[in-house]
């Protein structure tokens, strides 16, 4: 999802960029190997929602990376039940690590059923929503970068993402218990939420 968002963004930005635009993708666990972004870099920072939060390994990985004030788009994937405080949390960690987050999106995914199995199958992204988010985000980036004279550059208004910092108590659960909790949630949470984003 993160990769697709980056490719979409690059396609839009290429239309107005005299420079060659490259897309580089890193697993969050290897992101410390990436060069520190500069002001010409746009970062897409994505991770899944686990129990309304962002996963602990992703938080740990975030401690080893630095954003260098690069314009950043946050992205969480969730199964359409509830993304809880994950987006808020991602924004807080991104701010702490020097990323300038100008957009935050929660993208619903669904599972394509596998014939003959009651269990979930392949992930299906909400590609339409992702493309709309990428398009709107690229328009914002173009607005912000529209002027070469530093003093006249448009300053982004602070991005507002509602929520609070969750406590990661659930991480004490074993993966097996988490999987059971997940399947119970799947059964009881019938109402699905849509993808949404804030810019």
Could you say which of 178, 196, 198, 199 contacts ligand FMN (CB under 6 A)? 178
Q: For the segment 11-50, give every residue that binds ligand FMN (CB under 6 A).
A: 48-50
DSSP category for residue 169? G
Extract the tokens encoding 94. 């991104």
Could you say which of 72, 77, 85, 138 contacts ligand FMN (CB under 6 A)? 77
Question: Cα dihedral sign for 24, 161, 167, 86?
Answer: negative
Residues 6+ apart with CB under 8 A from 71: 41, 42, 43, 100, 102, 141, 144, 156
From the list 122, 125, 124, 120, the residue with the least C-alpha distance to 105 is 125
Q: By CB under 6 A, is residue 51 in contact with ligand FMN? A: yes
Q: Which is nearer to ligand FMN, 83 or 197 (CB)?
A: 83
Q: Which is nearer to ligand FMN, 16 or 177 (CB)?
A: 177
Q: Which is nearer to ligand FMN, 41 or 182 (CB)?
A: 182
Q: By CB under 6 A, is residue 91 in contact with ligand FMN? A: no
Q: For the segment 57-76, give every residue that binds ligand FMN (CB under 6 A).
A: none
Could you say which of 46, 61, 81, 103 contacts ligand FMN (CB under 6 A)? 81
Extract the tokens encoding 91. 């924004």
Binding site for ligand FMN (CB under 6 A): 48-52, 77-84, 109, 178, 182
């Amino acid at each position: 999802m993160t990769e697709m968002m980056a490719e979409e963004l690059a396609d839009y930005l290429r239309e107005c960029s005299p420079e060659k635009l490259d897309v580089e993708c890193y697993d969050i666990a290897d992101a410390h190997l990436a060069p520190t972004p500069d002001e010409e870099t746009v970062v897409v920072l994505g991770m899944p929602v686990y129990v309304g939060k962002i996963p602990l390994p992703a938080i740990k990985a975030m401690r080893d990376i630095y954003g260098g004030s690069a314009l950043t788009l946050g992205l969480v994937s969730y199964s359409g039940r509830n993304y809880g405080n994950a987006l808020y949390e991602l924004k807080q960690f991104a701010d702490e690590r020097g990323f300038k987050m100008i957009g935050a999106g929660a993208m619903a995914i669904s599972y394509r059923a596998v014939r003959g199995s009651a269990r979930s199958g392949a992930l299906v992204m909400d590609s339409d929503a992702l493309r709309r988010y990428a398009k709107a985000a690229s328009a914002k980036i173009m607005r912000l970068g529209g002027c070469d004279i530093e003093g006249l550059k448009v300053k982004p208004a602070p991005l507002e993402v509602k929520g609070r910092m969750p406590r990661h108590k659930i991480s004490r659960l074993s993966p097996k218990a988490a999987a059971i909790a997940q399947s119970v949630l799947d059964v009881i949470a019938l109402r699905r939420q849509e993808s949404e984003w804030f810019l």
